[in-house]
Amino acid sequence: MGSIKLAVVGVGAPFAGALAAFLSQQPIFDLVDPDEAELVVTGIESLPWPTEDVALLVVGPESAQAMVEAVDSGAMGYVVSGTPLQELADAAEAVASGEAVVPPMMLGALLKHVVQRRRASRADLERLDSLTQREREVFDLLAAGLDRNLIAQRLYISVGTVRSHLQRVFAKLNVHTHAQAVAFAARCGVQVDDPGVSP
């Protein structure tokens, strides 16, 4: 059974201490420092990402938004702060076993979020499919980290032509910066390590 990183959010020090003492008796738990756990509320970038041998259970406020941010960051479970210790331990054990744990009253919000993300994914793929072959070649090379000069050299075209292609690509994909284009490629699963582009 994997270990648990348990981030405690929105609870006082006494509860965090009691929780740490309670879970210290459970060998499957690896408790995050309660002082650092407050980072959970600052946004999804501050949450620790789970690895193969570490699951993540977030204890946070009764907020659908906080729950969605936790799940988006890779949390397998979310428990509302104030939940009795034994129920929290049961949830942590379930997460360690590979089960997802979400408060029943938040399931609707989670399902709505999942549906919205799937719709967004389909829209992204449709935008990607709208690119011409040459635009896709330019986009793949940009996502692979090549600048305009290198793209021009790889495709045997002028830098001005590359610029024109990128303007059309950005307009079709509804992105405005190089970073947004790379993020778009990642969302769509674009393989950028070896674009394999031929002129």
Q: What is the pLDDT of residues 46-68, one digit of tens each?
A: 455 555 556 677 887 888 888 88
- Residue 9, judged by CB atoms within 10 A of its CB (0-12, 13-18, 19+), counts as buried
| Structure confidence at residue 177 (pLDDT) | 84
Coil, strand, or helix at residue 5? strand
pLDDT value for 168: 95
H-run or E-run covering 109: helix 107-129
What pLDDT does 5 receive? 62
The beta strand positions in the chain, using DSSP E, are 3-8, 29-31, 54-60, 77-80
Q: According to CATH, what is the number of the domain 130-187?
A: 1.10.10.10
In terms of Cβ atoms closer than 10 Å to its own Cβ (0-12, 13-18, 19+), residue 71 is: buried
Specify the residue for token string 């995050």. Answer: 32
- C-alpha to C-alpha distance for 144 and 182, rounded to whole angstroms: 8
Contact predicate 103/77, CB 8 Å: no
Q: List the domain boundaries for the chain.
A: 3-109, 130-187
Q: What is the pLDDT of residue 80?
A: 86
For 18, 196, 197, the CA distances from 153, given in Å and listed in that order, are 63, 14, 12
- Looking at residue 139, its amino acid is F
**What class, spelled out in words, does domain 3-109 have in CATH?**
alpha beta
Q: Which residues pair with 30 in a beta bridge?
A: 5
| pLDDT confidence of residue 28 | 62
pLDDT confidence of residue 139: 93
Specify the pLDDT at position 144. 85
Question: Which of these, 55, 3, 50, 57, lies nearest to 26 by C-alpha position?
Answer: 3
Residues of the chain with pLDDT below 70 are 1-16, 19-20, 26-55, 114, 116-117, 120, 191-199
One-letter amino acid at 9 equals V
Q: Tell me, what's the pLDDT at 106?
A: 82
* Confidence at residue 166, expressed as pLDDT on a 0 to 100 scale: 94
